[in-house]
Copies of this chain bind each other. A is one copy, B any other.
């Protein structure tokens, strides 16, 4: 027993450097925004998940909108950085060079959106086209990825379209939680299998791990 006197009462919130606390809040916010959407999420829910008080969340980021923008920016950064790293990796030349690169990028993308916070923050941004600030970030982010595939990866137009389209279908099937009904409807698994193909084990592994963590 090293601080509270006896009962396991909620410990009086450790003092933690602001920079670190900031990261905790962003992690919490990613989860909460992902689950409830921008408008549906409350600063209080974020605070509870982060284990601190609601006013602290607000003071750290000024407004709820700023907090969301920061979450979104982080997600985009991780996506762009991940892609750029893979593109920069040395690769042997050959007929299937592009296919192989696309497969690697696809794998990295699935890895990323296994994090539901990231997946749903991105999708939240997509449907916020009407919001001047969020919408602009979404458009800019999408175009940055496009340019990366075109200029750095050297993909031809059809490969770009195919890659982006597959990504958006991944997004959707994971967002609607299709794996949740695998045992109610075998078509659900069939659709997932036909969509993710080799990557399916990757997805299902993560889903199973999440379920285990929840329990």
Contacts and interface: CB of A to CB of B under 8 A. Distances in A.
Contacts of A188: 139, 143
A129 B165 CA distance: 20
A194 B123 contact: no
Interface residues of A, number: 48
Nearest to A195: B161
A107 to B, nearest CB: 16
Given A120-B127, A126-B172, A142 B38 contact: no
A108 interface: no
B176 A129 contact: yes
A37 B146 CA distance: 27
A177 B139 contact: yes
B38 A176 contact: no
A124 B127 CA distance: 8
A39 B194 CA distance: 33
Nearest to A169: B165
Contacts of A161: 166, 169, 194-195
Given A127-B123, A160-B194, A195-B161, A187 B35 contact: no
Interface of A: 35-40, 120, 123-130, 135, 138-139, 142-143, 146-147, 157-158, 160-162, 164-166, 168-169, 171-173, 175-178, 180-181, 185, 187-188, 190-191, 194-195
